[in-house]
């Protein structure tokens, strides 16, 4: 029988500026417990992220670095993973984590549908899992 966990961030690390434009590096592990998976999600120190890949048109109302930052780190990590996480599942965890971090409902829905649209685009060109 699988135990249902409550979603929570165990650790939200500080970031260092990377060597490339818009690149950030985790100085400690980012640890997230999702209600959607029984395992802890551990993004190791040293992981490089761009925080959130936001289309130019959306940058007017969605900033790269905000309340969603920790959720974006976890999502970025899950999308790069080659394990059993599908993009759909990673996107749902992103939505869950944004809610947990207090991202306003409209903004988190917009960000969620933006990543879902990107997943659909990747499927069309054969790059989505």
Whether pLDDT at 15 is above 80 = yes
Tell which wins on pLDDT, 83 or 17.
17
The pLDDT assigned to 43 comes to 95
Total-model pTM = 0.81
The 10s digit of each residue's pLDDT in 78-124 is 988 866 678 889 999 999 999 999 999 998 998 888 888 766 555 44
| Torsion angles phi and psi, residue 59, rounded to 5 | -65, -15
The pLDDT assigned to 62 comes to 60
Mean of the per-residue pLDDT values for the chain? 81
Residue 48 makes CB contacts below 8 A (sequence gap 6+) with: 18, 23, 24, 25
Closest-CA residue to 42 (of 80, 10, 2):
10
Between CA 128 and CA 44 the distance in angstroms is 24
């Amino acid at each position: 029988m699988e135990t249902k966990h409550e979603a929570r961030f165990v650790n939200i690390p500080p970031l260092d500026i990377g060597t490339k434009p818009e690149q950030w590096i985790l100085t400690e592990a980012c640890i997230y417990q999702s209600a959607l998976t029984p395992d802890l999600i551990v993004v190791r120190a040293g992981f490089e992220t761009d925080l959130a890949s936001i289309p130019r048109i959306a940058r007017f109302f969605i900033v790269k670095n905000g309340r969603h930052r920790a959720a974006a780190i976890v999502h970025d990590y899950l999308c790069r993973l080659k394990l059993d996480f599908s993009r759909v599942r990673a996107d749902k965890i992103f939505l869950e984590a944004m809610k947990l971090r207090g991202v306003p409902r409209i903004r988190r829905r917009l960000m969620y549908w933006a990543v879902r649209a990107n997943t659909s685009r990747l499927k069309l060109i054969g790059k989505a899992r």
